[in-house]
Structure 1
Amino acid sequence: MVYRLMNLGTIIISSLLIGFAFNMFLLPQKILSGGVSGIAMILGLLTPFNTGTFILLLNIPIIILGYLRLGKQFIFYTLISVAVTSISMQVIPERGISDDPILSSVFGGVIVGAAMGFIFRSGASTGGFDVISMVLSQKREMPLGLLISFMNAIVVFISGFVFDWELALYTMLSIFVTGKLVDTVHTRHIKLTLMIITKRGNEIKKNLLANLVRGITVLDGEGAFTSERRNVLITVISRYELTNVKRIIRESDPHAFVNITQTTDVMGYFRKD
Structure 2
Amino acid sequence: MNKAIETIGRQCQSLTRLDWWLSWTGIFVGCAVMAAGFVYFINPYSIVPGGVYGASIVMHNLFPSIQVGTFGYMFDIPLLVLSMIFLGAKLGSRTIVAALSTPSIMNVMSRLSYPTQDALERLDPALLLGGSVDMTDHLMLTSIVGATLIGIGCGIVVRSHGTTGGSDIVAMILQKYCHIRFSTAILMVDAVVVLFGLVVIGFGVGSTDDSVTPSWHLSFYSLIAIFVTSRVLAYVINGAKDDKLLFVISKKEMVELHRFILKDLDRSATLIKSSGLYTGADKEMLFLVVSQKEVTVVKSKIKEVDPCAFVVVTDVYDTFGEGWKQLPSAGELQPE
Instruction: Specify if TM > 0.5.
Output: yes
Please list, as runs of the form range in 1=range in 2, the aligned pairs for 1:104-119 lying within 5 A after superposition.
104-119=142-157
Distance change >3 Å, CA 72–CA 265, structure 1 → 2: same
Matches of 1:265 and 1:142 in 2, distance apart?
Answer: 16
SS of equivalent to 1:38? helix
Instruction: Output the CA distance in 2 between the equivalents of 1:20 and 1:49.
Output: 18
CA 225–151 in structure 1, closer or farther in 2 if over 3 Å, else same:
closer
- The answer (yes or no) to whether the contact 1:160–1:166 under 8 Å persists in 2 is no
The equivalent residue for 1:86 is: 103
**Partner in structure 1 of residue 43 of structure 2:** 27
Alignment-derived partner of residue 132 in structure 1:
170
* Identity in percent: 23
> Who is 1:45 aligned against?
61
Q: Secondary structure at the match of 2:49?
A: coil
Question: Post-superposition shift, 1:123?
Answer: 0.7
Residue by residue, what CA displacement relative to the aligned partner does 1:205-255 show, whole Å, maximum 9, x if unpaired? xxxxxxxxxxxxxxxxxx9467xxxxxxxxxxxxxxxxxxxxxxxxxxx96
Structure 1 position 193, deviation (Å) = 11
Q: Which has the larger radius of gyration?
A: 2
Return the alpha-carbon distance in structure 2 between the equivalents of residues 169 and 256 of structure 1: 46
- Contact 2:34/2:152 (<8 A) preserved: no
C-alpha deviations, 1:105-158, integer Å up to 9, x for none?
Answer: 110001001111111111111111211111221245543212101111122222
What corresponds to 2:268 in structure 1?
A: 257
The secondary structure found in structure 2 opposite 1:260 is strand
Give me the whole-angstrom Cα distance separating, in 2, the residues matched to 1:181 and 1:89.
Answer: 21
2:202 counterpart of 1:163: yes
Aligned to 2:118: none
Is 1:8 the counterpart of 2:24? The answer is yes
Partner Cα separation in structure 1 for residue 90 and residue 167 of structure 2? 18
Q: 1:58 aligns with which of 75, 83, 97?
A: 75
Contact 2:95–2:163 (CA under 8 A) maintained in structure 1: yes
TM-score of the aligned structures, taking structure 1 as reference length = 0.70
Could you tell me whether the CA contact under 8 Å between 2:49 and 2:194 is conserved in 1?
no
* Greater CA drift, 93-102 or 28-37: 93-102
Q: Secondary structure at the match of 1:49?
A: coil
Identify the residue that residue 235 of structure 2 maps to in structure 1.
Answer: 184
Contact conserved, 2:245 with 2:316, CA < 8 A, in 1?
no
**In structure 2, what is the Cα distance between the partners aligned to 1:141 and 1:155?**
21
Unaligned runs of 5+ in 1: 196-222, 227-253
Matched to 1:257, the amino acid is S
2:158 matched residue in structure 1: 120
- What is residue 71 of structure 1 aligned with on the other side? 88
Where 2:289 maps in the other structure, the secondary structure is strand
Q: Distance in 2 between matches of 1:67 and 1:30?
A: 31
TM-score scaled by length of structure 2 = 0.58
Relative distance call for 1:68 and 1:106 in structure 2 (3 A) is same
* CA displacement at 1:39 relative to structure 2: 0.9
Structure 1 residue 265: Cα displacement: 9.0
Q: Say whether the 8 Å CA contact 1:143–1:183 is kept in structure 2.
A: no
For the residues of structure 1 that align with 2:254 and 2:149, how far apart are their CA atoms? 52
Residue deviations 1:153-210 (CA, integer Å, cap 9, x gap): 122222223133221111111111101111111229x7x9999xxxxxxxxxxxxxxx
CA distance in 2, matches of 1:143, 1:106: 23
- The alignment yields a C-alpha RMSD, in angstroms, of 3.3
Residue aligning to 2:309: none
